[in-house]
Amino acid sequence: MSRGGIPDFPEPVRIISDLHLAHPSSRAGEVGGLRPLVAGAGTVIFNGDTCEQSCRDWRSAGQEKLGELRALCEEEGAEACFLAGNHDPEISERGWLDLVAGRVFLTHGHAMCLGGTPWSHEYLHRREEILQLVREREREGVDLAYHWETARLLTEALRPAAARKQGGNYVLSALWPPARFLSILQSWRGIADTASAFVERFRPAAGVVFFGHFHRPGLWYRGGRVICNTGAFMRGSRPLMGELAGGWLAIRTISRDHDEFRPGERRALFEI
């Protein structure tokens, strides 16, 4: 199966990421609460970290909720397309998508980072080992498929053995150890430039980039490109949604009403 490609998806195409189904700190606790985001869509692209697969403590529940999500999309008549993230590396062999004749590029985002998730506890504890793997894979002029394979190997190397105790507070867990907090801040400060450099290297013709992974929702403009991070459905973050239809791209907020998530106000509109 191709890891990328330019498929022909039924419109409207909606793009979301980082549901983290089955993670204790996911705000999308009930899959049914996502129905308003799926209803009316021709296709929903789940751009990575849709469910928890890497951590053995949450894997079974993650697979169960993934099944519920697939069933929900089928009930609503929406085609579901899943891209692999670092938390759900087995959900799909696809690591990216090129849409609208290559003008729109999607990938989860962990392939953009040196070390995949440089703020994770696993990376901080095994930094030299991970960087050695990166050095061994370094080559001049690599294509996206080769680079994605490096990201896949890093994801496997950083797979947690078990759930880390967080004291019930996912947000506070980002503050310790201090090196983790500093790495998060550094990644957040450079998020738009990181994405811009990545797409300039691997997809220079793309004018719009969608990614997640960093849990920092935002819309930036770099080098004539639109760069959108769709945030996350996790505590401490807020999600955004992209919607493609009829040659137009809308970027919208996602509002929460009790346990339901709904398309919110339009933040931007672009002709594609």
Predicted confidence band of residue 163 (pLDDT cuts 50, 70, 90) = low
The pLDDT of residue 173 is 75
Predicted confidence band of residue 8 (pLDDT cuts 50, 70, 90) = confident
Mean pLDDT of 78-89: 98
Q: Which two tokens stand for residue 271?
A: 């002709």
Q: How many residues comprise the chain?
A: 272
Contact 105, 199 (CB under 8 A): yes
The pLDDT of residue 176 is 78
Contact 170, 25 (CB under 8 A): yes
The sheet that has 218-222: what strands, in order across it?
Answer: 96-99, 104-107, 208-211, 225-229, 218-222
The pLDDT of residue 170 is 67
More confident residue, 84 or 163: 84
User: Looking at the predicted structure, is the pLDDT value of residue 168 above 60?
Assistant: no
Q: Which two tokens stand for residue 139?
A: 């080559």
Q: Residue 240 burial by CB count (10 A; 0-12/13-18/19+): exposed, middle or buried?
A: buried
Mean pLDDT of 103-118: 95
Phi/psi of residue 47, each to 5°? -90, 60
The pLDDT of residue 26 is 96
Q: What is the SS3 assignment for the chain?
A: CCCCCCCCCCCCEEEECCCCECCCCECCCCHHHHHHHHCCCCEEEEECCCECCCCHHHHHHHHHHHHHHHHHHHHCCCEEEEECCCCCCCCCCCCEEEECCCCEEEECCHHHCCCCCCCCHHHHHCHHHHHHHHHHHCCCCCCHHHHHHHHHHHHHHCCCCCCCCCCCCHHHHCCCCHHHHHHHHHHHHCHHHHHHHHHHHHCCCCCEEEECCCCCCEEEEECCEEEEECCCCECCCCCEEEEEECCEEEEEEEEEECCEEEEEEEEEEEEC
The pLDDT of residue 242 is 98
Mean pLDDT of 171-179: 76
User: Looking at the predicted structure, is the pLDDT value of residue 172 above 80?
Assistant: no
The pLDDT of residue 3 is 46
Lowest mean pLDDT among 88-102, 164-178, 184-198: 164-178
For residues 270 and 272, give the distance between their C-alpha atoms in angstroms, rounded to a whole number: 6
For residues 44 and 2, give the distance between their C-alpha atoms in angstroms, rounded to a whole number: 19
Q: How many CB atoms lie within 10 A of CB 114?
A: 11
pLDDT 10s digits, 188-205: 999 999 999 999 999 999
User: Looking at the predicted structure, is the pLDDT value of residue 104 above 90?
Assistant: yes
Mean pLDDT of 47-74: 96
Domains, the chain, in order of start with CATH, read 13-160+171-271 (3.60.21.10)
Q: What is the pTM of this model?
A: 0.93
User: Looking at the predicted structure, is the pLDDT value of residue 1 above 50?
Assistant: no
pLDDT 10s digits, 139-156: 988 999 999 999 999 999
pLDDT 10s digits, 12-46: 999 999 999 999 999 999 999 999 999 999 999 99
- For the chain, what is the mean pLDDT? 92
More confident residue, 77 or 163: 77
